[in-house]
Amino acid sequence: MRRIPVELVKRYEDEGWWTSDTMGTILAGGLAAAPDAEFVVHSAVRPWRGTFADVELVARRLAAGLRERGVQPGDVVAFQLPNWMEAAATFWASAMLGAAVMPIVHFYGRKEVGYILDTVSPRVFITAEKFGNLEYQPELSANVPIVGVVGRDFDDLLADEPMAGLIAADPTGPALIAFTSGTTSNPKGVIHSHQTLGHETHQLAGLYPADRQKQLTAAPVGHFIGMINAFLIPVLDGKPIHLADVWDPGKALELMLSDGITVGGGATYFMTSLLDHPNFTPEHVPFMRYAGLGGSSVPVAVTTRLAGLGIIVFRSYGSTEHPSITGSHHTAPEDKRLFTDGNVLPGVEIRLAEDGEILSRGPDLCIGYTDEALTAAAFDDEGWYHTGDIGVLDDDGYLTITDRKSDVIIRGGENISALEVEEVLLTMPAVAEAAVVSTPDPRLGERAAAVLRLRQGHAMPTLDEVRAHFREAGIARQKWPEELREVADFPRTPSGKVQKYVLRKDIASLQLRE
């Protein structure tokens, strides 16, 4: 684990950001306060409808069954499930047992799942028999002592009598191991304690409008933010839980009108896919009153488009390692909400290195990685996390992310911001989403390649048309894209962020074949 300076520990405790609460005590309090809150899974294959109390009963029976099989505080309970009731029951049961929970994104494949299970060696693994591309493969979990498969033998793990109370756990110990991909070839295992995860839950809940109504969570619960939005914040606030196991914009639009469900943001892709859907009408706008955006780059073209419809946009910035670094409240001035990633949240500190890299620390910063080498590389002795993101601060202390270090394209010694090029591309009528990456150039070292997802009914623009657009926008010639590729959709992380390292590899492979 990383070294946390003593003075920071004292400060976080003195300010009440770190307490003796565990995930178990937080959940138990929330579930007791709102037992009749509705819990609904919108699914074509495994729909479910009940209350918090109904799911808690399953969770407590599972906790009792796992306890009978020797699961103790500090053990790791892994699950790879879609957004189903059993995922919530597994998460809540783990917290009640004082175990560390390890969600795995349901569409991770054999390579990722095998790597994760081999790296952590969990005591328990709960998965699905089959869902989409997910299919139970016994050999992957052959070394896991306790395995349960939803659709086959999951119910065999449930004891007849539910476990009463909670098993005590160390609030400074691991509560969650979240694997995240996007910047390395293998997923990175991020470890959060009960204290860091508890603070993050309260921190993120504080950004959400109190009148957000019944919100749909379609982001995978195997991902950090999807998990918090599905299983923790609604319990903390006593709000209904509505889950979707696939993201279907047409179905989401239908649920808005039939069930009064709202969609409140996430990665920009969730919002733009609704606006671009042929069934979208002005009737849907009242069910999209707020758009809290984060988890991937947030283009100004998107924020202004949403604001033009009367949707209140607010942005936030963080990562699995440090989930809530900055954020704008929905009542902040509009220019700050639309054009910046917010200011630092309670307890958080940031500073910019000489090259503009953002360094952060705070009570919701993780306690390290499962890989000690990654921990040593990312955290320094003063408690600062080196994010790898580039940003600028305005005079009011609002942060704007301008790039990632790996997203800077160095063309003939000239640094080009991929984000800047993407912003210009998104002002073209045909372009729904753009990702700009570096591609090798024998003369200049690197050049900018633009990968585009188009709006329905539009043709792929030519390179000449793109150049004319950039010329009209007054963008320096060396920043113009020099290669175009079209995709139906992008390779993405579970949060919806485009995996640019995959795009770089794919483009390089295409060039070799050409």
Which residue from 301, 293, 291 is spatially nearest to 317, judged by alpha carbons?
A: 293
Nearest-angstrom CA–CA distance, 495 and 181? 10
Neighbouring-strand partners of residue 265: 292
* 217 in Cβ contact with 83 (< 8 Å): yes
Q: Using the structure block, give the residue that is written with the tokens 């809940």.
A: 205
Annotated domain spans of the chain: 22-28+50-197, 247-361+377-404, 412-513
Query: Tell me, what's the pLDDT at 183?
Result: 46
**Under DSSP, is residue 230 helix (H, G, I), strand (E, B) or coil?**
helix
Is residue 180 predicted with pLDDT exceeding 70? Answer: yes
**Under DSSP, is residue 100 helix (H, G, I), strand (E, B) or coil?**
strand
Is residue 476 predicted with pLDDT exceeding 80? Answer: no
Sign of the Cα pseudo-torsion (403, 405, 409, 411, in order): positive
Q: Using the structure block, give the residue that is written with the tokens 């295992």.
A: 189
Is residue 413 predicted with pLDDT exceeding 90? Answer: no
Q: What are phi and psi of 376, to 5 degrees?
A: -65, -35
Place 31 in a pLDDT band, splitting at 50, 70 and 90: very high
Query: Tell me, what's the pLDDT at 185?
Result: 55
- Which residue type, as a one-letter code, is found at position 321? E
pLDDT digits (tens, 9 = 90+) for 70-88: 999 999 999 999 999 999 9
pLDDT digits (tens, 9 = 90+) for 319-367: 999 999 999 999 999 999 999 999 999 999 999 999 999 999 999 999 9
Place 182 in a pLDDT band, splitting at 50, 70 and 90: very low
Q: What share of the chain is helix, strand, coil (3-state, %, to 5)?
A: 35, 25, 40
pTM of the model: 0.86
Please state whether beta strands 174-180 and 188-193 pair in parallel, antiparallel, or not at all (unpaired): antiparallel
**Under DSSP, is residue 348 helix (H, G, I), strand (E, B) or coil?**
coil
Residue 284 tokens read as 């849907």
Query: Tell me, what's the pLDDT at 110?
Result: 85
**What number of other Cβ atoms are within 10 A of residue 350's Cβ?**
22
Domains 22-28+50-197 and 247-361+377-404 share a fold: yes
CATH fold of the domain at 22-28+50-197: Rossmann fold (3.40.50)
pLDDT digits (tens, 9 = 90+) for 148-178: 999 999 999 999 999 999 999 999 999 999 9
Query: Tell me, what's the pLDDT at 296?
Result: 64
The superfamily in CATH containing domain 412-513 is: ANL, C-terminal domain (3.30.300.30)
* 26 in Cβ contact with 171 (< 8 Å): no
Nearest-angstrom CA–CA distance, 384 and 403? 19
Which residue from 208, 194, 270, 271 is spatially nearest to 238, judged by alpha carbons?
A: 208
Query: What mean pLDDT is reported for the chain?
Result: 92
CATH fold of the domain at 247-361+377-404: Rossmann fold (3.40.50)
Please state whether beta strands 349-352 and 357-361 pair in parallel, antiparallel, or not at all (unpaired): antiparallel
Burial 167-191 (b: 16+ CB within 10 A, else e): bebebbbbbbbbbbbbeeeebbbbb
Query: Tell me, what's the pLDDT at 512?
Result: 47
Is residue 108 predicted with pLDDT exceeding 90? Answer: no
* 409 in Cβ contact with 436 (< 8 Å): yes
CB under 8 Å, gap of 24 or more: what pairs does 109-112 form?
109/133, 110/137, 110/140, 112/179, 112/181, 112/186, 112/187
Neighbouring-strand partners of residue 13: none
At how many degrees (to 10) do helices 249-259 and 268-275 cross?
80
Which residue from 510, 455, 386 is spatially nearest to 502, judged by alpha carbons?
A: 510
Which segment of 114-128, 134-148, 169-183, 216-230 scores lowest on mean pLDDT?
A: 169-183
Query: Tell me, what's the pLDDT at 321?
Result: 95
